[in-house]
């Protein structure tokens, strides 16, 4: 008898921070626990979203409303024509994502002396922006 994966049983939201050549992805449970986050090339987006929707019980799918949003919508609806997408505001997500990155990866050594607003993460943070979008989507759906 196979065991069901607990993460597949709980309802989740999937958020996409669209870009021109890469996208940030995040899956959050309804109690705001981050279950998955990644950055994927735009060419792999459709395959990745299909795989994630099979792995997690995605009840809502949100997409950032700025750069690349229309292209991402076209890619996803080509693969899953019935997919329901919700646009989510990207206002200040870059700033909030940078702060969230530094919470998860505190600066060490002399880096700690540099004010938070002047620090730049050593990698893209599109996945953290997707987490912010997922949180906004949850708030939007709770209303």
Q: Cα(73)–Cα(105) distance, rounded to whole angstroms?
A: 32
The model's pTM is 0.90
What is residue 45's predicted lDDT score, i.e. its pLDDT?
Answer: 97
Name the phi and psi angles at 41, rounded to 5. -65, 150
Going from the C-alpha of 27 to that of each of 14, 30, 97, 108, 117, the distances in angstroms are: 5, 10, 15, 29, 27
The pLDDT of 87-116, averaged and rounded, is 93
Domain boundaries, the chain: 6-142
* CATH class for the region spanning 6-142: alpha beta
Does pLDDT of 33 surpass 60?
Answer: yes
Q: Cα(34)–Cα(12) distance, rounded to whole angstroms?
A: 10
């Amino acid at each position: 008898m196979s065991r069901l994966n607990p993460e597949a049983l709980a309802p989740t939201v999937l958020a996409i921070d669209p870009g021109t050549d890469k996208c940030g992805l995040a899956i959050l449970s309804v109690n705001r626990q981050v279950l998955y986050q990644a950055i994927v090339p735009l060419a792999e987006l459709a395959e990745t979203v299909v795989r994630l929707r099979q792995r997690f019980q995605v009840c809502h799918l949100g997409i950032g409303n700025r750069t690349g949003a229309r292209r991402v919508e076209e890619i996803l609806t080509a693969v899953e024509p019935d997919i329901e997408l919700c646009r989510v505001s990207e206002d200040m997500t870059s700033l909030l994502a940078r702060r969230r990155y530094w919470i998860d990866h505190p600066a060490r050594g002399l880096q700690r002396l540099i004010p938070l607003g002047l620090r730049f993460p050593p990698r893209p943070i599109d996945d953290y922006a997707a987490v912010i979008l997922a949180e906004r989507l949850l708030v939007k759906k709770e209303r």
